[in-house]
């Protein structure tokens, strides 16, 4: 599909909910959308554009804001598409995609606990990989790793 | 970091009451041998106490310990669980080529039946308290092998926020096997080394 | 009605790894399930941010320990795009061959563990025996059985040793005959059919909704394979068919995996033919400075140092033995990747456990979860 045709189709369906389309090699590009209109964008992309398979949800911490990145696959178009939204503020949050793609459930739980992006109306926003009550978001840039501290070694009491 | 094995209740072995010898309570059949009655009243409890103490102190080491050691080291039952990469080599050791069962090593799925815990992989803080629970559930005497670099000291993941830097911070470890992951030969060598340790065990 | 929640795991023979399946049961009936993951969460994505690009490959082997080669391939493809590096063609064929051997190794390991779960003991010994042959091949050119650290950003570490191609052909011939044996052991067994037929059924629409990929999706009748649909490395120059089945149950997944192994042997034979007649370099001639120095192997030519490297985003998607694995690598112009993100196929397959477990019996859980082929390392990362 020609690039102009594709961007025209995107603009026709998404309208002003789409902010920009960044071309990306061997995919259909990276679509930036307004986070306020997330649910309509998801529904449009799923129902009208035919991206029925959600591969992953990830988050990137750009220090001044956080970006949530959805990777979608369409069997009809045989191609990948990225959806991304910039979330600013101290409590970054976006509407859940699990109402449209049920498979987003766990990906969003993971992104919530590791990158600290909250997903509104998520059916089951619990810790998945880290223990319950874990207070940190390890994938933020401010979270630094260090060599393990010295811990007491257990020995057998003879 | 909630798991603290020191705070966990350790199983207390109850002090075994020495069973009463049958002759102690038997009344003397012949009344005129009073001296026998005197011996029964005074000597037999004293002898019973001394004998019990001897069995408890000395006999357990010198008489029964070698037998237990011989039996234990020839049928080590490791706990059947897989933590990470080393678990695949652990499984390969029970395959056709290495056949660990010829050393009497048979993995059991219940910790109640095991006397050896092979920690084959990275231990995270999330699984730490379950590991300690499993260790506490195993009957004495029990041994622990830290298999691979992760279980020994965290390995390539030692800087991670979720990894215990070595399982010896949680349970006492008897033997470390180096390698990432160790080959099945190394695991079998570790088990043979552990058998040697059990043979030389004096407590 | 007496409902209760029971835990299957984290130490349970069914789990084949460290995870916990919480099951709500009424008698023998499974009413609800809730997989609990994270017991092997090692923070691989975070550690990668502190490492040089080539050092991340070390973590990839440990990420999925039954398919280390595939995960190395996934990462280096993404990193090459982020760093604008092109691997030589010979390296691509070696990667494809390694991938397919890894697929056989992973599927044979799955076969050994899965068929043991449903009560047949011989396949475990058969499977481990044949897997060791594949691992011997890996050992002959990477030096390790499971954790290879073989692929590099821009190619592979070293060329194949002399005599390797003949040995690999022998193993292929041996394996093709053994696959017939595997089928005879399982498909002629009543126990196998009684424990597997009609269990864990997923239809195509449910698979797509829940992001299920790989043999589970293809067993439901969807012929999707990234090696065909979005060919990477040398797959567009190789001939093979996409294995698929229609039933969507445990037996169908078994059939798909068996057919995939046969197709893998077909791909390996073609790439061996190519490799035999096309010698050449296996590592790119121009690499950015951070990939070479200060960790350049002594005496190796071809590390031309390039400075002022541009930023970039790399994305790759490969067909791993378990399904579709995706990765992106964000390069912000430093020696370390800014952000690495992986998508594990098993992560999505397990997350849909409620769809294929509810309604069956407790005794059906081991065969169904066995047919999913759970590798906890890549779920938890």
Provide the 10 A C-beta neighbour count for residue C374: 26
- Least confident segment among C156-170, C223-237, C295-309: C295-309
Strand ranges, E, within chain C: 3-8, 20-26, 29-36, 151-152, 155-156, 286-288, 304-306, 312-320, 323-331, 339-343
- Least confident segment among A16-25, A75-84, B120-129: A16-25
Q: Is B20 helix (H, G, I), strand (E, B) or coil?
A: coil
Number of domains in chain A: 1
Q: How far apart are CA B107 and CA B117, in angstroms?
A: 10
> pTM of the prediction?
0.84
Q: Which residues of A touch B126 (CB under 8 A)?
A: 130-131
Q: What is the pLDDT of residue C93?
A: 92
Whether pLDDT at C302 is above 60:
no
For the stretch B175-186, pLDDT in tens is: 999 888 899 999
Given a contact as 3+ CB pairs under 8 Å, which chains touch C? A, B
| Domain C3-380, CATH among 3.10.180.10, 3.40.50.720, 1.10.3720.10, 1.10.645.10 | 1.10.645.10
Q: Which among C37, C315, C326 has CB closest to A129?
A: C37
Q: How far apart are CA B165 and CA A146, in angstroms?
A: 12
Answer whether B161 sits within 8 Å of A148, measured CB to CB.
Answer: no
CATH 3.40.50.12280 maps onto chain B at: 76-199
Whether pLDDT at C190 is above 50:
yes
Of all residues in chain B, the one with the smallest CA distance to A147 is B159
Q: Which of C38, C275, B83 is nearest to A114 (CA)?
A: C38
- Least confident segment among A17-26, A93-102, C167-176, C209-218: A17-26
Q: Name the β-bridge partners of C329.
A: C314, C340
Q: How far apart are CA C38 and CA B127, in angstroms?
A: 9
Q: Which among B82, B92, B122 has CB closest to C128?
A: B92
**How much is the average pLDDT of C345-353?**
90
pLDDT exceeding 70 applies to what percent of chain A? Answer: 98
Q: What's the mean pLDDT when you consider all of chain C?
A: 85
Question: How does residue B203 score in pLDDT terms, banded at 50, 70 and 90?
Answer: low
Kindly provide the ipTM of the predicted complex, given to two decimals: 0.87
A80 and C CB contact within 8 Å: yes
Question: How does residue B27 score in pLDDT terms, banded at 50, 70 and 90?
Answer: low
Whether pLDDT at A85 is above 80:
yes
Backbone angles phi, psi at A68, to 5 degrees: -105, 135
A131 and B CB contact within 8 Å: yes
Answer whether C11 sits within 8 Å of B121, measured CB to CB.
Answer: no
Provide the 10 A C-beta neighbour count for residue C328: 24
CA distance B16 to chain A (A): 20
Q: Which among C12, C58, C146 has CB closest to B156?
A: C58
For residue A20, what is the domain's CATH number? 3.30.460.80
Q: What's the mean pLDDT when you consider all of chain A?
A: 86
Contact assessment for residue C157 and residue C150, using Cβ atoms and an 8 Å cutoff: yes
Contact assessment for residue B104 and residue B143, using Cβ atoms and an 8 Å cutoff: no
For the stretch B109-162, pLDDT in tens is: 888 888 899 998 899 988 888 888 888 888 878 889 999 898 888 888 888 888
A134 and C CB contact within 8 Å: no
Q: Which among A148, A156, A158 has CB closest to B154?
A: A148
- Domain B76-199 belongs to what architecture? 3-Layer(aba) Sandwich (3.40)
Q: What is the DSSP annotation of C164-226? A: HHHHHHHHHHHHHHHHHHHHHHHHT-HHHHHHHTT-S---HHHHHHTT--THHHHTTT----H
Domain housing A112: 3-120
Q: Which residues of A touch B165 (CB under 8 A)?
A: 148, 151
Of all residues in chain B, the one with the smallest CA distance to A155 is B172
Answer whether the bond into residue C183 is a cis peptide, omega within 30°: no
Q: Which residues of B touch C125 (CB under 8 A)?
A: 95-96
Answer whether A156 sits within 8 Å of B174, measured CB to CB.
Answer: yes
Q: Which residues of C touch B94 (CB under 8 A)?
A: 128
Whether pLDDT at A149 is above 80:
no
Answer whether C125 sits within 8 Å of B96, measured CB to CB.
Answer: yes
Question: Which DSSP helix (H) or strand (E) runs through C76?
Answer: helix C68-83
Q: Which of A127, A149, A156 to mutate to test the interface with B (most CBs of B within 10 A)?
A: A156
Extract the tokens encoding C310.
Answer: 């541009």
Q: How far apart are CA A123 and CA A128, in angstroms?
A: 14
Q: Which of C369, C356, C345 is nearest to C66 (CA)?
A: C345
Of all residues in chain B, the one with the smallest CA distance to A158 is B203
Contact assessment for residue C156 and residue C69, using Cβ atoms and an 8 Å cutoff: no
Provide the 10 A C-beta neighbour count for residue C198: 15
**How much is the average pLDDT of C164-181?**
91
Backbone angles phi, psi at B116, to 5 degrees: -140, 130
Q: What is the pLDDT of residue B31?
A: 53
Provide the 10 A C-beta neighbour count for residue B70: 12
Given a contact as 3+ CB pairs under 8 Å, which chains touch B? A, C
Report helix angle C89-117 to C164-187, nearest 10. Answer: 30
- Sequence-distant (6+) residues with CB within 8 A of C182 are C111, C123, C126, C127, C258
Q: What's the mean pLDDT when you consider all of chain B?
A: 78
Given a contact as 3+ CB pairs under 8 Å, which chains touch A? B, C
A67 and C CB contact within 8 Å: no
Of all residues in chain A, the one with the smallest CA distance to C325 is A55
Q: How far apart are CA C239 and CA C231, in angstroms?
A: 12
Whether pLDDT at C295 is above 50:
no
CA distance A154 to chain B (A): 5
pLDDT exceeding 70 applies to what percent of chain B? Answer: 74
Contact assessment for residue B121 and residue B148, using Cβ atoms and an 8 Å cutoff: yes
């Amino acid at each position: 599909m020609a690039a102009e045709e594709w961007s025209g189709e995107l603009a026709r369906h998404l309208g002003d909910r789409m902010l920009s389309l960044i071309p990306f090699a061997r995919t259909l590009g990276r679509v930036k959308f307004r986070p306020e209109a997330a649910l309509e964008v998801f529904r449009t992309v799923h129902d009208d554009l035919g991206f029925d398979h959600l591969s992953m949800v990830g988050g990137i911490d750009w220090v001044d804001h956080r970006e949530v990145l959805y990777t979608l696959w369409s069997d009809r178009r045989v191609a990948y598409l990225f959806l991304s939204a910039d979330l600013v503020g101290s409590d970054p949050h976006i509407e859940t995609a699990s109402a449209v793609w049920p498979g987003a459930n766990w990906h969003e739980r993971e992104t919530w606990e590791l990158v600290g992006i909250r997903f509104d109306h998520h059916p089951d926003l619990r810790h998945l990989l880290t223990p319950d009550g874990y207070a940190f978001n390890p994938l933020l840039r401010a979270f630094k790793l260090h060599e393990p501290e010295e811990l007491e070694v257990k020995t057998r009491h003879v | 970091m909630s798991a603290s094995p020191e705070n966990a209740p350790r199983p207390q072995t109850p002090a075994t009451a020495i069973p009463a010898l049958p002759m102690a309570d038997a009344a003397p059949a012949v009344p005129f041998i009073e001296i026998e009655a005197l011996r029964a009243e005074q000597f037999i409890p004293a002898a019973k106490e001394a004998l019990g103490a001897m069995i408890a102190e000395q006999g357990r080491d010198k008489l029964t310990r070698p037998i237990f050691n011989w039996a234990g080291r020839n049928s080590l039952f490791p706990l059947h669980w897989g933590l990470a990469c080393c678990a695949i080599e652990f499984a390969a050791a029970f395959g056709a080529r290495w056949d660990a069962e010829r050393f009497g090593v048979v993995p059991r799925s219940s910790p109640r039946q095991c006397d050896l815990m092979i920690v084959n992989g990275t231990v995270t803080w999330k699984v730490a308290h379950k590991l300690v629970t499993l260790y506490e559930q195993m009957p004495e005497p029990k041994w622990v092998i830290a298999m691979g670099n992760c279980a020994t000291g965290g390995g390539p993941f030692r800087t991670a926020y979720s990894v215990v830097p070595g399982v010896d911070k949680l349970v006492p470890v008897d033997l470390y096997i180096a390698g990432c992951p160790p080959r099945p030969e190394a695991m079998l060598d570790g088990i043979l080394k552990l058998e040697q340790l059990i043979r030389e065990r004096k407590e | 009605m007496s409902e209760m929640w029971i835990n299957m795991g984290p130490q349970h023979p069914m789990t084949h790894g460290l995870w916990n399946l919480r099951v709500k049961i009424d008698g023998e009936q499974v009413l609800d399930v809730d997989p609990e993951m994270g017991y092997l969460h090692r923070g691989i994505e975070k550690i990668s941010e502190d490492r040089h690009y080539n050092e991340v490959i070390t973590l990839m082997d440990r990420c999925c320990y039954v398919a280390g080669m595939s995960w190395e391939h996934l990462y280096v493809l993404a990193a090459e795009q982020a760093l604008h590096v092109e691997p030589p063609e010979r390296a691509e064929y070696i990667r494809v061959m390694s991938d397919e051997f890894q697929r056989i190794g992973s599927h044979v390991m799955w076969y050994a563990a899965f068929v043991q779960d449903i009560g047949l003991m011989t396949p475990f010994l058969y499977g481990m025996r044949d897997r060791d042959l594949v691992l011997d091949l890996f050992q002959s050119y990477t030096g390790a059985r499971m954790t290879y650290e073989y692929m590099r950003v821009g190619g592979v570490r070293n060329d194949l040793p002399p005599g390797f191609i003949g040995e690999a052909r022998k193993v292929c011939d041996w394996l093709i005959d053994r696959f017939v044996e595997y089928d005879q052991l399982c498909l002629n067994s009543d126990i196998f059919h009684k424990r597997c037929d009609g269990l864990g059924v997923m239809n195509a629409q449910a698979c797509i909704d829940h992001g299920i990929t790989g043999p589970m999706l293809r067993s439901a009748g969807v012929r999707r394979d990234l090696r065909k649909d979005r060919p990477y490395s040398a797959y567009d120059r190789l001939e093979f068919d996409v294995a698929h089945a229609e039933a969507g149950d445990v037996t169908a997944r078994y059939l798909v995996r068996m057919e995939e192994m046969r197709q893998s042997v077909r791909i390996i034979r073609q790439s061996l033919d190519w490799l035999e007649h096309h010698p050449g370099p296996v590592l790119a001639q121009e690499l950015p400075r951070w990939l070479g120095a200060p960790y350049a192997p002594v005496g190796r030519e071809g590390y031309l140092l390039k400075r002022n490297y541009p930023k970039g985003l790399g994305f790759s998607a490969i067909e791993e033995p378990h399904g579709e694995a995706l990765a992106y690598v964000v390069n912000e112009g430093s020696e370390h990747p800014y952000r690495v993100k992986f998508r594990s196929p098993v992560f999505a397959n397990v997350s849909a456990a409620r769809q294929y477990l509810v309604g069956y019996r407790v005794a059906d859980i081991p065969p169904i979860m066995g047919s999913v082929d759970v590798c906890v390392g890549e779920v938890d990362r």
